[in-house]
């Protein structure tokens, strides 16, 4: 019968047995084995690797056998539990919503967080703060990557361009800055033109224009390449809090301290519609994406089967300090009011599937609303202080929130 051991392994085994026989006082067996194995030059030495080897191998085999038996018992118990477990219906990943606890809590800012924004391609999250800095994070690992310094007062807002090559930020220092993502976030432009704190900034979907809103009551359109201000939109009576473009870049929606939201034509700078109905400052306004239209139309009981291809910008959602969220059509008609928050509503984002609306509030929570029914389906106690902003990642099922408690939280959707 052929041995499974190599010549070297056999020699080591023989020496280990000889060592064991010698240590145990079996002198006759030791002499006989030494003679039969032709290892006449063997001298027991406690420093050699075969010294005590036989006992070590034997005890380790016993331990492994015991461990295997324990694992086999545990595996059979788990299999039994699995067999008896109730079958849960698998939810589609498109329906996943943020669930506690948070995946990461990111700390490092020294003042309230004003905005969080996901990179459109990389696993990167940018955060703006009243501490005058922007911080870049890896949202998968929760690792801090770098701090962008340049603004001299609170950074109010930031946004990536659609391709993720540039980051734009705005500040209470009256400036807008453009940072080159692919060149270690170097500041490549500073735009001057507003006469007061710049509260909101973003790229148009084309990526070649920047739009900003300010406490000076105006909205400005900037050319990215030249840095020049091309257009100024005037009409709001007070501080303009936010500006957001429609998916096709044709319209802008703004929210203001004058308790209205306004729809603007980006080509003519004219006001298309005023949205009046809130009893306090309108903090945020967004366009409902086209993917959300079927759920909105079910909510307001409209049959859209006979209509043509839906156009971006048909529905607007506003969030206010009056604690409510309102849904409007492009003609200024109020379609639905979402009631449930106990304090100012600060941020809105629509789920990538179009089924849900997520809102952030000073009541320290984020709420998830079903757009088909208009009801709040889930409330997350998100932070220990006011929740100032919320962002949905378009490449991973992840949501980020920022707060006056100086932390950013990353929530996994499942």
| Long-range CB contacts (within 8 A, 24+) of 150-153 | 150/177, 150/187, 150/190, 151/175, 151/177, 153/197
Tokens of 11: 């020699």
Longest dimension (CA), the chain: 109
| Residue-wise pLDDT tens digits, 30-65 | 888 878 888 877 777 777 776 777 777 778 888 888
Asked, colleague to colleague, whether 7-73 and 93-412 share their fold, the answer is no
Q: How far is it, in rounded angstroms, from Cα 217 to Cα 234?
A: 7
| Residue-wise pLDDT tens digits, 204-225 | 999 999 999 999 999 999 999 9
Which residues, at least 6 apart from 315, have a Cβ–Cβ distance to it below 8 Å?
A: 287, 288, 292, 293, 296, 327, 328, 329, 330, 335
The more confidently predicted of residues 29 and 112 is 112
Element (H, E) at 109: none
Cβ contact 402:127 at 8 Å: yes
Cβ contact 68:76 at 8 Å: no
Kindly tell me if the per-residue pLDDT of 1 is higher than 60: no
Which residues, at least 6 apart from 367, have a Cβ–Cβ distance to it below 8 Å?
A: 340, 341, 358, 359, 361, 376, 378, 379, 380
Q: How far is it, in rounded angstroms, from Cα 186 to Cα 407?
A: 25
Would you place residue 91 in the very low, low, confident or very high pLDDT band (cuts 50, 70, 90)? very low
Averaged pLDDT, 153-169? 97
Cβ contact 141:148 at 8 Å: no
Correct CATH for 93-412 of 3.40.50.2300, 1.20.1440.230, 1.10.3720.10, 2.130.10.10: 2.130.10.10
Cβ contact 82:399 at 8 Å: no
Cβ contact 340:365 at 8 Å: no
The more confidently predicted of residues 396 and 3 is 396
Kindly tell me if the per-residue pLDDT of 133 is higher than 50: yes
The residue among 372, 409, 370 whose CA lies nearest residue 390 is 409
CA dihedral in degrees (309, 221, 191, 205; nearest 10)?
10
Tokens of 326: 């309102």
- The reported pLDDT for the residue numbered 338 is 97
Q: How far is it, in rounded angstroms, from Cα 171 to Cα 381?
A: 29
Cβ contact 379:403 at 8 Å: no
DSSP letters for 243-287: EEE-TTSSEEEEEETTSEEEEEETTT--EEEEEE--SS-EEEEEE
Domain boundaries, the chain: 7-73, 93-412
Would you place residue 86 in the very low, low, confident or very high pLDDT band (cuts 50, 70, 90)? low
Residue 305: count of CB within 10 angstroms of its CB: 5
Residue 35: helix, strand or coil by DSSP? helix
Domain 7-73 class in CATH = mainly alpha
Token pair 């690792």 in the structure block, residue: 143
297 dihedral zone (left: phi>0; alpha: psi -120 to 50; beta)? alpha
- The reported pLDDT for the residue numbered 66 is 85
Token pair 């089967």 in the structure block, residue: 305
């Amino acid at each position: 019968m052929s041995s499974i051991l190599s010549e070297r392994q056999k020699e080591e085994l023989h020496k280990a047995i000889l060592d064991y026989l010698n240590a145990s006082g079996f002198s006759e067996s030791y002499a006989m084995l030494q003679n039969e194995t032709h290892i006449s030059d063997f001298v027991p030495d406690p420093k050699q690797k075969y010294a005590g080897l036989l006992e070590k191998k034997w005890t380790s085999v016993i331990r492994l056998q015991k461990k295997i038996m324990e694992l086999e018992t545990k595996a059979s118990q788990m299999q039994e539990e699995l067999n008896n477990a109730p079958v849960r219906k698998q939810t589609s990943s498109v329906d996943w919503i943020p669930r506690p606890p948070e995946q990461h809590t990111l700390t490092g800012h020294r003042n309230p967080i004003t905005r969080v924004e996901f990179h459109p391609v990389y696993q990167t999250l940018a955060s703006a703060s009243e501490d005058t800095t922007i911080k870049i994070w890896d949202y998968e690992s929760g690792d801090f990557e770098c701090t962008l310094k340049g603004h001299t007062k609170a950074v109010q807002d930031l946004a990536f361009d659609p391709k993720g090559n540039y980051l734009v930020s705005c500040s209470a220092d009256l400036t807008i800055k453009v940072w080159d993502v692919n060149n270690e976030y170097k500041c490549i432009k500073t735009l001057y033109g507003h006469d007061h704190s710049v509260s909101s900034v973003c790229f148009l979907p084309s990526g070649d224009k920047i739009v900003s809103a300010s406490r000076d009551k105006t909205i400005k359109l900037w050319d990215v390449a030249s840095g020049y201000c091309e257009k100024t939109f005037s009409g709001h009576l007070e501080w303009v809090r936010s500006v957001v473009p429609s998916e096709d870049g044709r319209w802008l929606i703004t929210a203001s301290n004058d308790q209205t939201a306004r729809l603007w034509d980006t080509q003519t700078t004219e006001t298309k519609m005023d949205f009046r109905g809130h009893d306090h400052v309108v903090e945020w306004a967004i366009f409902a994406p086209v993917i959300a239209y079927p759920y909105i139309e079910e909510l307001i009981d409209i049959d859209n089967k006979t209509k043509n291809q839906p156009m971006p910008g048909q529905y607007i959602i506003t969030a206010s300090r009056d604690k409510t969220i309102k849904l409007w059509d492009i003609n200024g008609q109020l379609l639905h009011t979402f009631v449930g928050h106990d304090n100012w509503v600060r941020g809105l984002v629509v789920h990538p599937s179009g089924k849900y609306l997520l809102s952030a509030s000073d009541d320290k929570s984020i709420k998830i609303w079903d757009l088909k029914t208009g009801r709040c389906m889930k409330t997350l106690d998100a932070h220990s202080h006011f929740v100032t902003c919320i962002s949905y990642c378009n490449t991973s099922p992840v949501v980020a929130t920022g707060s006056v408690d100086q932390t950013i939280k990353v929530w996994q959707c499942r």
